[in-house]
Amino acid sequence: MTIIIAGFFALLGIALAICFMGGEQDSSVPIKLRAMLSVSSLALFLGLSAAVAFGYPQYKVWEQSKAGEAALAKATQDRQIKVQEAEAEQEAASKQAEANRILGESIRQYPEAMEQKWVEAIEKTSNQVIYLPTEASVPITESARMAQKAKAEK
């Protein structure tokens, strides 16, 4: 494709040069001016053709190099983000473990604290039935009472 574009510019320059030189002899434009226009247009378009033919491939290499550098920078940044996220999660987990350890020690030293938490939890419940385990750790259900309550509401 590059060769086609460069060839087009070269042919355009040749055509303009011929056009400038091939005018009528009786025209008001002197021959020296026509020759100068012809040579300068030919040089301009041949230079443009050479720039396209040799410069464009170099530009593509440079562009791909920059695209590779950008991809590497993005991958490095993504890796750093993942590392920082992992470190934050690890720190959060260690702090949570420390909090659990302190809570466990507190409960062992002050068992009445759990009873207080249980009372607080019961205070927050409303319209709920709480089953407490008996000696055999089996809750006593009151399904018959709940069924009677449901019939009474209908």
pLDDT in tens, 24-62: 555 666 767 777 777 788 788 788 888 888 888 888 899
pLDDT in tens, 61-102: 999 999 999 999 999 999 999 999 999 999 999 999 999 999
Other CB atoms within a 10 A radius of the CB of residue 5 amount to 14
> Which pTM does this prediction carry?
0.43
Q: What is the pLDDT of residue 134?
A: 66
Tell me the domain boundaries of the chain.
2-125
Sequence-separated (6 or more) residues with CB below 8 Å from residue 7:
49
Identify the residue whose tokens are 């809570």.
103
Amino acid type, 141 = T
